[in-house]
Copies of this chain bind each other. A is one copy, B any other.
Amino acid sequence: MSETIVIAQGGGPTAVINQTVVGAVLEIRKRYPGARVLGARHGVRGIRDGDYVELTDMAEGELRLIGNTPSAALGSTRDKPDAAYCEKVLKGLQRAGADAFIYIGGNDTSGTQQILTEASGGRIVFVHAPKTIDNDLVENDHTPGFMSAAEFVAGAFLSVDLDFRALPGIYVGIVMGRHAGFLTAASAAWRLDRNSGPHLIYVPERAFSVERFIEDVKATLARHQRCIVAVSEGVATADGRSLVETIVGPDRIERDQHGNVKLSGSDLNRAFEQALAERLPGQRARVDALGYIPRGYIGAISATDAREAFEAGAYAVQLVEEGGGSAALQYDGQKTVFRKVPLDAVAGKTRQMPEDFLKAEENDLAEPGLAYLRRLVPNKYKLGKPFV
């Protein structure tokens, strides 16, 4: 065999996305001895520009260390190729003599693979291997990267809740997530008891109201003498505008190159700070964005997540043999199973939390949501119960 297979990573990094690269490389060595394996730097951009890392002969021990390393070791990209860009990528793959291209990423990545499949006329096999901390890919029970990020968020909110038991006040933690609230919901995974925070959880799946928020905080303070809030950066008001847009005003908001409202500045922090200072004056309140740390934190890598990310890479190689597609992680009621789904089944779609994951009236998770978290983010710590 003289196969050449190209691998790349796209979109936001995760703590385990390198496991998928390593799982693919080692599976290629098994299935296609002598095959050439090229890692493209910074996703499709590296293919377009002919910028590759030679992975063919890299020692397995060295690869395994890369697998343990958070974030995308090959580099990533936010480029969403259109037809013209895809044409350049296709030419790049042809120049490299590629027989197959495995692209690890989210729904945009699956979309890119779909365009490339159509453009190539079947001469190259295109596979999408899933990753995203947002956990928002349709056809998947969960996605590689989510469990680790969720473990970080669960531990962070457990810890902050204990902090605020000791020194009471209001804490608002802003968590990544534009359209889906899974990662924010993970803040509830390690609650110690019924008194534990987060006491309020706001996700993009539900309309946000500042009035309602203030009332919720007041009621929580009355009950618990503290209030821990987890909120997705992408929460939106009932008219569908993001909270940032609602508060900052349409003229002053920043947008990225795709026209999406920029959520990552401190505008949202400030909005919460101001609302709390005005409506609950004198209350100790702290607003923090968890920022980028959850998605690649070295100290919260889930062993199950790492293993599944590795297996997703190996399964992607099986899909090369099967002519391409998207590798989906599904759940058979007992364990995670890998299934092939069409690229366009995943491309351009966003999975939100199922309706029954959230309580109808309160800003909190319902039992099916909690059960999902118990399965994916089991608490590994044995702790005592504070005296306050």
- Report which A residues bind B (CB closer than 8 A): 9, 12-13, 15, 18, 39, 41-42, 53, 62-78, 151-152, 155-156, 158-160, 162-163, 165-167, 171, 264-266, 269-270, 273, 286-293, 295-300, 381-388
Q: Is the CB of B13 within 8 A of A163?
A: yes
**Which residue of B has the minimal Cβ distance to A156?**
B293
Question: Chain B's nearest CB lies how many Å from the CB of A13?
Answer: 5
A162: which of B42, B64, B69, B384 is its contact (CB, 8 Å)? B69
Q: Is the CB of B270 within 8 A of A71?
A: no
**Chain B residues in 8 Å Cβ range of A156:** 293, 297
A270: which of B266, B291, B295 is its contact (CB, 8 Å)? B266
Question: Chain B's nearest CB lies how many Å from the CB of A165?
Answer: 7
Q: Is the CB of A296 within 8 A of B160?
A: yes
Question: Chain B's nearest CB lies how many Å from the CB of A53?
Answer: 4
A299: which of B12, B300, B383 is its contact (CB, 8 Å)? B300
**Chain B residues in 8 Å Cβ range of A42:** 166, 388
Q: Is the CB of A387 within 8 A of B297?
A: no
A73: which of B18, B298, B384 is its contact (CB, 8 Å)? B384
**Which residue of B has the minimal Cβ distance to A379?**
B298
A167: which of B65, B76, B266 is its contact (CB, 8 Å)? B76
**Chain B residues in 8 Å Cβ range of A292:** 159-160, 163, 171, 286, 288
Q: Is the CB of A163 within 8 A of B62?
A: no
Question: Chain B's nearest CB lies how many Å from the CB of A59?
Answer: 11
Question: Chain B's nearest CB lies how many Å from the CB of A73?
Answer: 4
**Which residue of B has the minimal Cβ distance to A190?**
B298
**Which residue of B has the minimal Cβ distance to A174?**
B288
- This chain: copies in complex: 2
Interface hub of A67, A71, A159 (most chain B Cβ within 10 A) = A159
**Chain B residues in 8 Å Cβ range of A69:** 162, 383-384, 386
**Chain B residues in 8 Å Cβ range of A74:** 166, 386-388
Q: Is the CB of A76 within 8 A of B166?
A: yes
Q: Is the CB of A166 within 8 A of B71?
A: yes
Report the bound CA distance from A270 to B248 in whole Å. Answer: 14
Question: Chain B's nearest CB lies how many Å from the CB of A295?
Answer: 7
Q: Is the CB of B388 within 8 A of A162?
A: no
A290: which of B15, B293, B383 is its contact (CB, 8 Å)? B293
Report the bound CA distance from A14 to B90 in whole Å. Answer: 54
A163: which of B155, B273, B295, B382 is its contact (CB, 8 Å)? B295
Q: A171-B292, A270-B266, A290-B293 are in contact. Are A75 and B387 (CB under 8 A)?
A: yes
What 16 new A-B contacts, CB under 8 Å, besides A9-B166, A13-B162, A68-B383?
A13-B163, A42-B166, A65-B384, A67-B384, A71-B165, A71-B386, A75-B166, A75-B386, A156-B293, A159-B293, A171-B292, A266-B270, A266-B287, A270-B270, A286-B291, A288-B290
Q: Is the CB of A298 within 8 A of B387?
A: no
**Chain B residues in 8 Å Cβ range of A162:** 13, 69-71, 296
**Which residue of B has the minimal Cβ distance to A270?**
B266
Report the bound CA distance from A325 to B292 in whole Å. Answer: 43
Report the bound CA distance from A383 to B75 in whole Å. Answer: 16
